[in-house]
Structure 1
């Protein structure tokens, strides 16, 4: 049985259709096992014998749209991909805190950024691109006004992306291991 994490885009916990119990219900209704949620921002873990990740993403997104009216996006990563990312410790020596966010932006498709990515905003430092998990890894300086990096990412990669803190990714991995 394969272990997966679904990172759902555009989840707002204040919307009754986007609450964890409703999200888990869609996954359980699709026949997945071991369904659980991590925090309240659209992180769902589950087990499935299926191995076609793009088909899983489409199937889940169609069900979320049909049953809850959620049109965001679904990006799935397998346990091994997330474990490799966390074990690589891409933010070595850096601390996630109020002033500094360690952040992972998952891309639907493999599209490494160009060299000029680091010049987008002075409050953003790109650590790199992790090919294994298809994600841009970056650090944002929150002591400055919020950067427009998220808008830039949307323009560059489209809406088939979603961003989580590295702490959230670590929590998701821990839930997959339990």
Structure 2
């Protein structure tokens, strides 16, 4: 079985699109996934499955969320190997001048057109740094993520892909949990 991580965008924010993690975990189990674990209330789910086609897994989860909870949410799915690679590629994590509490990873649903990358970099504000890889965008936001203009919506509109952001602590915790499930 393959270990997967799925991250949902825009649930349990401001009392909208509310999904209890127990109900979400049960939904994944009903879809046939195993060792389902959730982390915090923002829709981070670690699980094992036999499927190998990520687009099919993503579609299956998305359709079931809409059916069970009555609304659609963007879902991004990747393997534990993908997550390890994304963590290892973060160019800011080993810079002792950077406070890791200001590091964020924007996960992308698919590879992006390189021609649009300049639009992202042009939006950064003073002190911010951004690095774009195939599967993720690494952000350093020293004034806080809530102050950046490099939001999920901006990134999605600029790149034409679904995106959702997690802070560095959550990102590394997802890998830790995935490593521990049998």
Q: Aligning the two structures, in what range does the TM-score lie when normalised by the shorter sequence? A: 0.7 to 0.9
Distance 1:29 1:11 in 2: 20
Contact 2:4 2:77 survives alignment (8 Å): yes
Match of 1:125 among 123, 129, 139: 129
C-alpha RMSD of the superposition: 2.2
Contact 1:73 1:159 survives alignment (8 Å): no
SS of residue in 1 equivalent to 2:41: coil
Distance 1:3 1:168 in 2: 17
Please name the residue that 2:49 is paired with.
Answer: 48
Please name the residue that 2:100 is paired with.
Answer: 96
Query: When the two structures are superposed, what TM-score results if normalisation uses the length of structure 2?
Result: 0.85
Query: When the two structures are superposed, what TM-score results if normalisation uses the length of structure 1?
Result: 0.86
1:64 equivalent to 2:65? Answer: yes
Please name the residue that 2:149 is paired with.
Answer: 148
Map Cα deviations across residues 1-44 of structure 1 (whole Å, 9 max, x no partner). 10000011111164584121111111011010000001111100
- How far residue 86 of structure 1 moved from its aligned partner, in angstroms, is 2.1
Contact 1:107 1:157 survives alignment (8 Å): no
Please name the residue that 1:136 is paired with.
Answer: 137
- How far residue 89 of structure 1 moved from its aligned partner, in angstroms, is 4.4
SS of residue in 2 equivalent to 1:70: coil
Distance 1:155 1:59 in 2: 24
Distance 1:143 1:17 in 2: 25
Contact 2:83 2:175 survives alignment (8 Å): yes
1:171 equivalent to 2:173? Answer: yes
Runs of 4+ with >6 A deviation: none
Distance 2:28 2:146 in 1: 38
Going from structure 1 to structure 2, the CA distance change for 1:35 and 1:145 (only over 3 Å counts) comes to: closer
Going from structure 1 to structure 2, the CA distance change for 1:48 and 1:30 (only over 3 Å counts) comes to: same
Please name the residue that 2:88 is paired with.
Answer: 87
